[in-house]
Amino acid sequence: MSDTPAFTTVNKLVAEALGTFLLVFGSIGTALFASDFGTGANGSSLGVGFLGVALAFGLTLMAGIYTWGPISGGHFNPAVTFGLAAAGRFAWKDVTGYVIAQIVGGLVATTFIVLIGVFGPGGWLPDAQNAGFASNGWDELSPGGFGFGAAITAEILFTAIFLMVILGVTHPQRGTAGFAGLAIGLTLTFIHLASIPIDNTSVNPARSIATAVYGGGLALGQLWVFIVFPIVGGLIGGLLHRGLFERGGVAPAQMEARTR
């Protein structure tokens, strides 16, 4: 008889919403509140910059995986859910529910950031929204001025890499379950370090939707790229891993026990 509790679908969906909330609230909150905080009296920067924002994404994901991963598998990202399903590690019938829960969690997170901003210093919230609210984008919305093609390439490539790391470290036989959350969180950190200047880094449609809703017309107009191409990257990563390293296949139920 197993001592592992049987979690219901509702338990899993709530866990996915909470994990995505933590990821978006902590990371986007860092980007908006702390990334650029001016300079001190000696001229040194008081903000956390790209490094701090990248660490915020990795640390919040790591915390979410260890907290709610044992309940839902710790996806917190529609591209991850699609990629795991493509790899045979997650049931396709459960994808829709997970994606909806993730989007809701992300939207609640940015709504709370807006609520904090309402009580912030005069002009903070309009300035944040006029700047795109840390939304993903190219050309005017790209921190480094990168174009449309760069955004598409980065989202496909980095999301595929992300999925292959996730699938490798959570493998039922070869993975290291206790350290999986650490490896996944650090991978998301390096992805942000490399790609924030390109398009503010999505690799997560729920994160992109959550910020674009408050980022204005340009952010909403470019949002489709950060829904479509992270999912394409996730599917590619999942299919590549399955074809190269899962010749015998892995039952979807095993994923629930390994993404911790």
Beta bridge partner(s), residue 45: 39
Inter-residue contact 259 to 105 (CB < 8 Å): no
Domains, the chain, ordered by start = 9-258 (1.20.1080.10)
How far is it, in rounded angstroms, from Cα 43 to Cα 153?
A: 37
At 40 the pLDDT is: 66
**What integer pLDDT is reported at residue 246 of this predicted model?**
81
> Which residues of the chain carry a pLDDT beneath 70?
1-5, 38-41, 43-45, 247-260
The pLDDT value recorded for residue 256 is: 44
pLDDT of residue 6: 85
Q: What is the pLDDT of residues 189-242, one digit of tens each?
A: 999 999 999 999 999 999 999 999 999 999 999 999 999 999 999 999 999 999
What was the pLDDT predicted at 258?
40
